[in-house]
Amino acid sequence: MSNLLRDDSVSILTRGYDFGAHIWRRVQAGARSAPMRLLGDEAILVRGAEGVELFYDQRLIGRHGAMPAIVQETLFGHGSVHSLDSEEHHHRKATFVDVAYEDAQVERLAPLLDREWQGELSAWVDGTSDRSAYDAAVGAFGRSIMRWAGLPGTPAAKTRWAARLAQIVDGFGAPYSPGFVLAWLNRGWSDRHAERLVEAVRASTLSAEAGTALYEWSWHRDRDGALLPARLAGIELQNSIRPMIAVARFVAFAAKELHDRPEWRTRIADETAERGTLVGGILATAFAQEVRRTSPFVPMLPGWALEDVELDGERVPAGGRVVLDILGTNTDARSWASPDDFNPDRFVDVEDYEALKVFIPHGGADVETGHRCPGEKLAITGLTAAIAAMSDPRVTISGEGLDVNRRRLPTKPASGGRVRAAGATSRCPFH
């Protein structure tokens, strides 16, 4: 009973994104590790470059079974790459790298993102859309990434599936809520739909272009040379597109930061006008990176200690848990100058963000051999396009509803970021 009372698991639900700060109070300021108990196991919470190095040392830390099943099964899907280790992980991860990480794949997606965000911007300007920044992003990212992935369907159908995938992300973190039940239902629907697409490609009733996510997962073979079960191939197909849709949460945070920083909206608008495209601007990219650094998104990642490990005086035995504090590392006072200040200029001259060991909004370590998300470049490209669109002087961002509930996992500004034509008046709710 005493161990149960000491367990920190419930605190994650009650404190949300402030959970890490609560744990760090147990140790001296600047410590790299702190003791805790998680789901009955001894554990340590780690942060900073030292924490990242330990967490991604595959000789010491394993991932299989570390993610609570309630999260793994709902968000990532049964048997997905996120639960694998060692050679099995490397083999399947290689397909994700081919599908999403190569520069040619980013270049294929960029014009699709530009077109979709130009459309959302035009709808805001002419008043035909009252979608929030978040809702606009779910649709724009969903249509872009599904076309990029080679998926069939009308734009409306793609938008509907994107909304389902977005709801899975929204609902998985609240197992006590109706949203979690809906996330399970949407997971079931999405798994069946993706499975049917894979089966159609294999039966030659649906064509898929080589190099697209649909093609590569339909024909992906495991280390023994066998095709993945269609259900699992469909799950990995979703894991190639859902992370892009999840970036819509960053778009909502970007709307909040742009509202609070009109000088940056002006700078980005000028850059966009000069370049003639919404994607790839240096200033918009720097703003996107600072949004990713500071916004509460993925709070932490769990792993298993494969042997006794120690960091900064704290020890955990083999079989215990090692938890990487994502947000705490991105805002660590020993790793960043003025970490609590929102300052996109810190990224303006950064050419290789992956070389920043303490910048881990999409995971850390090496993309090809570790667990860093291979779709990170796609995410940055999409977020940059959204930021450029929202910086257009023809639209304005409302200051209402930008409060953030840090206890909720995952979270975003309450309104999603309301965007409308500049000079437009608020509509009366009764007319």
pLDDT digits (tens, 9 = 90+) for 267-304: 999 999 999 999 999 999 999 999 999 999 999 999 99
Task: Please check whether residue 346 is in contact with residue 329, taking contact to mean a CB–CB distance below 8 angstroms.
Answer: no
The architecture (CATH level 2) of 2-421 comes to Orthogonal Bundle (1.10)
Can you tell me the mean pLDDT for 380-397?
98
Q: Which residues of 87-98 are buried (b: 16+ CB within 10 A; e: fewer)?
A: eebbebbebbbb
**What does pLDDT average to over the chain?**
92
Q: Where residue 3 falls among pLDDT bands split at 50, 70, 90?
A: very low
148 pLDDT more than 80: yes
Evaluate if residue 2 carries a pLDDT over 80. no
What's the pLDDT tens digit per position in 27-40?
A: 999 999 999 999 88
Q: What is the pLDDT of residues 54-104, one digit of tens each?
A: 999 989 999 877 777 667 667 787 777 766 667 887 888 899 999 999 999
Residue closest to 258 by CA, chosen among 393, 400, 419, 387: 387
CB 91 within 8 A of CB 222: yes
Lowest mean pLDDT among 65-79, 107-121, 231-245, 333-347: 65-79
pLDDT at 383: 98
> In this structure, what token pair is assigned to residue 196?
């049917």
Quote the crossing angle between the two packed helices 103-126 and 376-390, to the nearest 10°.
20
pLDDT reading at 426 higher than 70: no
Rounded CA gap, 195 and 235, in Å?
Answer: 8
Window from 17-21, 84-88, 424-428 with minimum mean pLDDT: 424-428
Q: What is the pLDDT of residues 113-138, one digit of tens each?
A: 999 999 999 999 999 999 999 999 99
pLDDT score recorded for residue 127: 95
Residue 179 in this model has a pLDDT that exceeds 70: yes
pLDDT at res. 425: 57
pLDDT at 83: 63
φ/ψ of residue 42, rounded to 5? -65, 145
Higher pLDDT, 401 or 90: 401
Q: Is 36 within 8 Å of 25 (Cβ atoms)? A: no
